[in-house]
Amino acid sequence: MDELLKRIEINPEVMGEKPVIKRTRITVECILKRLSEGLNIKEILENYPYLTEAVIRATLLYASKNFKS
């Protein structure tokens, strides 16, 4: 699981310190929003062909570990 989380970074120089997929400007929030809109992983990968399924799983894992209730 820790390997997946290494795919997410927070960099003050990128997207206002929002968590992003490493070496991109795609935020975790962006991927989660696409999933909530009903897109499946295959559709997201069609829209962002340079991403991988593992990156999508990493965003979900990151969100689950950082959710504050």
Question: Which band of pLDDT confidence, cut at 50, 70 and 90, is reported for residue 69?
Answer: low
What is the chain's mean pLDDT, rounded?
A: 94
CATH hierarchy code of domain 2-66:
1.10.10.10
**15 φ, ψ (degrees, to nearest 5):** 55, 40
Q: Give per-residue pLDDT as tens, 44-59.
A: 999 999 999 999 999 9
**Rounded CA separation 25/40 (Å):** 20
Question: What is the model's pLDDT at position 38?
Answer: 98
Q: Where are the domains of the chain?
A: 2-66
